[in-house]
Amino acid sequence: MSISVPAPVRGFFRRHPRLTRALELAVRPFEAASKKVVFGCKMCGQCILHETGMTCPMGCPKTLRNGPCGGVRMDGRCEVIPGMMCVWVKAERRSRWLPWGGAILKVQPALDWSGAGSSAWINVLADRQGKEAS
Amino acid sequence: MTRPIAPVLRLEEAFRSGLPVVTCEIATGDGADPDEVLRRVRLVSDHVDAVNVPDNTAGIVHMAAWAAAALLAREGVDPIMHVTCRDRNRMALQSDLLGAAALGVRNILCLTGDHMVHGDHPGAKPVFDLDSLQLVSLATVLRHGRYLSGREIRPAPALFPGATENPFAPPYDFRPLRLQKKVEAGARFIQTQITFNVKRFAAFMERVRDLGLDRTVPILAGVAPVRSARSARYMRERVPGMEVPDAIVRRMEQAGSERARREDEGIRVCVEIIEQLREVRGLAGFHLLPIHWEEAVAEIASRARLTPARASLSAHVEATARDAGSADARRDDREGALLNRHREHRA
Ligand code: SF4
């Protein structure tokens, strides 16, 4: 994760698991609602929106986090859902508008599914994601 | 022309020789008959360095890729086992890779996998726990003696992971970059989607060369013979990610419906594409995808003068041993020197 959180903040959340849980319960509905409306968020718990052209990769029927599959149709639509634009075609196009668009080239590690459904914001603050990641 | 049977050369060694490499995908049997797999592989094995074994292609259930690959390994053919992310999570993938390595299957092609909606079990639960790139990373981690969890594996499985790229699917500008990502993740060789549009492929390779990727990883261009106008149209309209230019469909239509004529035309188109691709710099060889038509491979190999690296190598060794003074040997010596240069380069 490229967002760096100061160590004292991480330490605080680590030392107070019950407080962290309570905070998560409060934050989660707000995060879910706002990101769902704007980005079609699927609450995977490890947000990489800023590295994928502000396009949620979990909207891809294959939940690909590192780029498009080989089946994208010639008009840019999805191989699985022909009525939908491929999320990666959108992500690539949008990433060009972002000053940090090159982040799309970062190799994304495997998702930690044990964090699915949790608040990515709190996860970042508490530094508790992708434990299994290579 | 009959060639002496060349010794088996591991795919990795074939690439290291710097000589053009030829691989081919076969269809694995529909059922549990090992003879069906062996019949198909025998049609192609003399003409290639390694044989690809698909993993439930197009989402249609077939014999497990690891089993078919093990049958090939037992026959003395170096298999390239396809591994997709569609049907197995990271635990099953790891145990399958270890099992395959134990059976002599080292080359693995890491794929995302065709979605099941197009297959024969559209209601199956899609897994996609990892994506193809994370699968390359996983194979690399295993290769270096660790599970994804960090636990040690001793001895580490000697895996040789490869990946694919499709220059013919949007976003076109991103495809070379995605290839770069795969190389970064640990891909040691690349096989591409079937080429019918050589112009698009050349543009892709130009960008690949700009990125210096052709010098880091051997890239094999995918080529296939079409058997009829109907199958050309099917590929154009029904197979997502496949680009079949109208000119090719028209040529197949003109060839008519008589079997010998249309099949001959299909092979001719394929050979022409191979010739055109030879002009594209940065390729390490060809990957044939005969799509249930393994019988065509011998004909394509002879018409396009495709020689697997192992055959070129053994011819070279024989020639130098036979007549050290002749012009032939001098030419071969030059090839030998070239070979060594490539070796250092790729090692
Ligand atoms: S076409 Fe795009 S959205 Fe559809 S499965 Fe492939 S990568 Fe995902």
Quote the tokens at residue B20: 């053009």
Kindly give the pairing relationship between strand B21-25 and strand B50-53.
parallel
| Ligand 1 atom 8, closest CA | A60
Quote the tokens at residue B328: 């032939």
Quote the tokens at residue A12: 């605080």
From the list B47, B46, B106, the residue with the least C-alpha distance to B81 is B106
Cβ B157 vs Cβ B101: under 8 Å: yes
CA distance B345 to chain A (A): 26
Kindly give the pairing relationship between strand B79-84 and strand B107-111.
parallel
Which residues does residue B161 pair with via DSSP β-bridges, in sequence order?
B108
Work out which ligand 1 atom sits closest to the CA atom of A79. 1
Cβ B235 vs Cβ B226: under 8 Å: yes
Quote the tokens at residue B58: 């197009």
When pLDDT is averaged across residues A10-29 and rounded to a whole number, the result is 80
Q: Which of 3.10.129.10, 3.20.20.220, 2.60.120.10, 3.60.10.10 would CATH assign to domain B11-308?
A: 3.20.20.220
Nearest chain B residue to A95 by CA distance is B174
If chain B, 347 residues long, is cut into consecutive pieces of 10 residues, what is the mean pLDDT of each piece?
A: 56 94 93 95 96 95 95 95 97 97 96 94 96 97 96 95 97 97 97 98 98 97 97 94 96 95 97 98 97 96 94 81 59 48 41
Exposed e or buried b per residue across B92-103, where buried means at least 16 C-beta atoms within 10 angstroms of its C-beta: ebbebbeebbeb
How far apart (Å, rounded) are the C-alpha atoms in residues B190 and A22? Answer: 49
More confident residue, A15 or B271: B271
Please write the tens of the pLDDT for every residue from A84-120.
999 999 999 999 988 888 889 999 999 998 888 788 7
User: Does residue A60 line the site of ligand 1, with CB under 6 A?
Assistant: yes
From the list B27, B21, B73, the residue with the least C-alpha distance to B48 is B21
Cβ A86 vs Cβ A110: under 8 Å: no
Q: How far apart are the two ends of chain A, measured CA to CA in Å? A: 13
How far apart (Å, rounded) are the C-alpha atoms in residues A30 and A26? Answer: 8
Residue extents of the structural domains in chain B: 11-308, 309-347
User: Does residue A85 line the site of ligand 1, with CB under 6 A?
Assistant: no
